[in-house]
Amino acid sequence: MATFQKAAGFKFKNIELLNLSFVHRSVSNETGCRVNNERLEFLGDSILGAACATLLYQKYAEKTEGDLAKIKSVAVSEDVLSSIAMVLQLDTMLLLGKGEELSGGRSKKAILADTLEALIGALYLDSGYKTAFAFISRCLAPEIDRVTENDYHRDYKSLLQEVCQRYYRTYPQYRLVKRSGPDHEHMFWIEVSVNGAVYGPGIGRNKKSAEQEAARMAYQAVEHEITG
């Protein structure tokens, strides 16, 4: 717990509250004990939403309510939250029932995202909104930047690189397969190699979009392989 808190950048006064944020409902289902992290998850979801809305309101004065809503929906999505949870290594902290453990619960995006929300709820109760907001800001600000830089879509190149580093200790390699069309209407075909497997080609009107498409294919395939 001490190592985890140091890496996450906070310190709980009530360690039992921190521990509770990692107790999945599968534990209570199997043991009969009703105590789990679902109430903390409920609270954390609201705190996360408020913090994200505040970050967007402060940073993007020129954007409309509709634009802010689009960014927020991606920034607090299950995909993004589970990715943050993996970076924080919440998968190693989870307390799961035997059945959920055997079915690969530690890698399930829904469980990881819910655990992050429970952690936020616990941090809010333990140390107040200011501390919870600071933690959310550290985790979410880079994701918000990625979303806005990619026209409110996920940055699959960054996601793929994170997965490759975490599971394969390597980096994805992109290769231009083909380019066609006149100068003003180029189309690019790009493949990406991950741990010996090749995915794609991703096709786009420029190299960046073609790489993003190839990365999307690879990320989804690798994620499916990891999570089963």
Residue 180, strand partner residues: 187
The answer on pLDDT for 177 being more than 70 is yes
Architecture in CATH for domain 2-154:
Orthogonal Bundle (1.10)
> Mean per-residue pLDDT for 29-43?
89
User: What pLDDT, in 10s, does the model give residues 181-197?
Assistant: 777 678 899 999 999 99
Average pLDDT over residues 151-160: 75
Q: What is the pLDDT of residue 184?
A: 66
The predicted pLDDT at position 149 comes to 76
With beta carbons less than 8 A apart as the criterion, state whether 189 and 176 touch: yes
Percent of the chain with pLDDT over 70: 96
> Which CATH number is 171-227 given?
3.30.160.20
Which residue in 190, 179, 177, 187 sits closest to 217, CA to CA?
190
Do the domains spanning 2-154 and 171-227 agree at the CATH topology level? no
In this prediction, residue 76 carries a pLDDT of 92
As annotated, the active-site residues are 45, 117
d(CA 213, CA 75): 20
Instruction: For the beta carbon of residue 99, count every other beta carbon within 10 angstroms.
Output: 11
Q: Model pTM? A: 0.69
3-state SS string for the chain? CHHHHHHHCCCCCCHHHHHHCCECHHHHHHHCCCCCCHHHHHHHHHHHHHHHHHHHHHHCCCCCHHHHHHHHHHHCCHHHHHHHHHHCCHHHCCECCHHHHHCCHHHCHHHHHHHHHHHHHHHHHHHCHHHHHHHHHHHHHHHHHHHHHCCCCCCHHHHHHHHHHHHCCCCCEEEEEEEECCHHHCEEEEEEEECCEEEEEEEECCHHHHHHHHHHHHHHHHHHHHHC
Model pLDDT for residues 85-143, shown as the tens digit of each residue: 988 999 999 999 998 888 888 888 889 999 999 999 999 999 999 999 999 999 999 88
Domain boundaries, the chain: 2-154, 171-227
pLDDT at 197: 94
- Mean pLDDT across the chain: 89
Q: What is the mean pLDDT of residues 215-227?
A: 85
pLDDT tens string 49-79:
999 999 999 999 999 998 898 889 889 988 8
